[in-house]
Amino acid sequence: MPDAAKSVLFVSLPEAGLVNGMIVLARETARRAAVDVWFATDEPQRTRIESGDGLTFASLGEVVPEMSAQSWDEKVYRQVTGRSRFRSHHAVLKHGFRPLRWQEKYRRLESWVDKVNPAVMVIDCEARFAISLAIAREIPYVLMVPFLPSYLVASHVPFARSYVPRGFPVPFTGLPLHMSLPQRLTNRLFKAWTLAVLLDPRIGRWLRVDLDFHKSIGIPPPAGLTQVDRAALVLCATIAELEYPIALPKNVRTVGAILPPLPERSDGDLEAWLDSRPSTVYIGLGTLTRLTRAQVAAVVEVARRLDGAHQVLWKLPASQREMLPDALPGNLRVETWVPSQLNVLAHPHVTAFVTHGGGNGFNEGLYFGKPMVVRPLWADNHDVAVRGQDRGVSLTLDDPHTIDPDDLADKLTRVLGDPAYRERSAQFGALERKAGGRATAADLILALPQLTGGAAAEQTQ
C-alpha cells in the first residue's frame, strides 16, 4: 500500500471532454489508495470536485476565454468548424495558442505544486503548461489522452520524428489508412501547410514568447514526442483495435473508455419512457455543437421519417431549443439535458447513437455496443469518424455542415437495419470492457515506483 504521506496531483483544463474522465479517474484513485489526491483546474469545476470522494480542489482561477472552445464567438466557431480541415486546423492554432495565458496558469499551478509536493502528476494532454512544469521540476507525470493514440505519436509537420509508418494519416485530416492518390497528396500537403502556419508572423511572435518563457524555467518547449517520451505513462481512453495499426511506445497504454461506476443517478420519467419504447435512436452531439435553424429542422424531419418504426431522444441545449418548429413528430422527445448519457446508452432499447465523434462519446457508444452515425464537428472528430466507418461500427454523414435529411435518414436506416453493425459494435464493446477503463488506469498509476516505493511496479509499464 502506498505511503499515506504521498500525494497525486491531477491537472486538467475545464472543458467537459477533458475534465470528465480525469475526475472519474481521480475519484477511483482516491477511493482505493492511501494517497492524498488533489485536483487542479479552473473555478467552474470547483463544486464537482469538492463534492466528496476524497478529492481536494486546487484552483487555477477563472476560465481563460482564449483557452476554452465553449467561449469562442460565432465567427471563431465557424472558422474552427469550417469545411476545410486545414483552415479549421489553422483556426485552432491561431485562436488557441496563447503562451502568455498559459504562463498565468503555470504560475498558479506552480504555487500548488510547492504546497502539495506531489509524487506524481496526472495531466490532461492539452494542459501544456502543466507538462512544462512537471518537466521543469522533474516530477514524474502521467498523460491522460481522450483521443486516438496517433494524436500524440504521429508527426504534424514534415521531417519530425514519429512513431507511425510513413504515409500514415496525419491527425485532423480525417483520411483513411488506405488512400487514393489525391488523398495521399492531401496527406503530404497537410504537414507542409501546418509548417507554413507556424511561420505566420503573429504565431511566430507567440512562439518566441513561448521559447523565452521556457528558457527562463530551464527547459526547451516540450513539443511533439518530447511530451510522450518524458512521461512515466501515457493512458489513452480508447482501445487499440479502433486505431489503425501502429507500434506504440511501451509507456503508452490503451485502457478503454473511462466511465464512472454505473448506473449513475437516473431520471425515473426518462427511464420509464425508454422502457416502453422498443427501439430508440439517441442523438447527442456534444457540448460544443451549435446547430443552425436549418440543421435543427433537418433533424426534426429525420425523426418524422422514422415515426412508426423508431423513437428519437434528442439532447438539445436550451440555447438551441427556440429553433425547434412548433409541431414536433410524436416519436420525438427533446431534452435540454439528460442526467446521465451513460444510462441512456446502456439502455437495451437504445438501438443507435448519433454523435459528433468526440473520443469520449464515441468510445462510450462502443462500450455499450451501439452502432453509430457520426456528424464530425472538428479536429479529431474526423479521424474518429473514418476509423469507426472502416471498423464497421458507424457511418459518417456525407456533408456534416448541412445535415441533409435524406443522408441522415439513410445512414440511420442502414445501421439500424443491418445486423452486422450491431454485431461488430457488440464485439468492440467487449474489447472496451476487457480494457478495464478507470480500474486499469488507476492500477497503472498506483503501480508507479514513485507511489509504491519499489521497482517491481516497473514490470507493469
Tens place of pLDDT for every residue, the chain, 461 residues? 344 469 999 999 999 999 999 999 999 999 987 889 999 999 999 999 998 678 999 999 999 887 788 888 899 899 999 999 988 888 888 777 888 889 999 999 999 999 999 999 999 999 999 999 999 999 999 999 999 999 999 998 888 899 999 999 999 999 999 999 999 999 999 999 988 887 888 888 889 999 999 999 999 999 889 999 999 999 999 999 999 999 999 999 999 999 999 999 877 899 999 999 999 999 999 989 999 999 999 999 999 999 999 999 999 999 999 999 999 999 999 999 999 999 999 999 999 999 999 999 999 999 999 999 999 999 899 999 999 999 999 999 999 988 999 999 999 999 999 999 999 999 999 999 999 999 999 999 999 999 997 643 343 33
- Considering the chain, tell me which residue range(s) the CATH 3.40.50.2000 domain(s) occupy: 7-256+436-460, 268-434
Cβ atoms of 374 and 381 within 8 Å: the answer is: yes
* DSSP-derived secondary structure for 333-381: EEES--S-HHHHHHSTTEEEEEE---HHHHHHHHHTT--EEE---STHH
Give the integer Cα–Cα distance in Å for 229 and 222.
10
Cβ neighbours, 10 Å, residue 263:
12
Give the dihedral sign, CA 69/74/80/81. positive
DSSP-derived 3-state class of residue 222? coil
DSSP letter, residue 168: P
By the 8 A CB rule, do 381 and 375 touch?
no
CA distances from 319 to 287, 290, 333, 335 (A): 11, 9, 17, 12
Q: b/e string for 389-401 if b means 16 or more Cβ within 10 A? A: eebbbbbbbeebe
- Tell me, what's the pLDDT at 411? 98
What is the spatial distance between Cα 283 and Cα 291, in angstroms, rounded to a whole number? Answer: 13
Separation of alpha carbons 247 and 434, rounded Å: 20
pLDDT at 2: 42
Contact 190, 170 (CB under 8 A): yes
Rama region for 453: left / alpha / beta (φ>0; ψ in -120 to 50; rest) = left
Q: Which of 3.90.550.10, 3.30.499.10, 2.60.40.1930, 3.40.50.2000 would CATH assign to domain 7-256+436-460? A: 3.40.50.2000
Beta bridge partners, 396, equal 374
In angstroms, how far apart are the furthest CA atoms of the chain? 66
- DSSP state, residue 283: E
User: Are the C-beta atoms of 258 and 237 separated by less than 8 Å?
Assistant: yes
Helix (H) or strand (E) holding 458: none
DSSP letter assigned to residue 332? E
Residue (of 126, 121, 128) closest to 104 by Cα position: 128
Beta-bridge partners for 71? none
Q: How many CB atoms lie within 10 A of CB 30?
A: 22
CATH class in words for 268-434: alpha beta
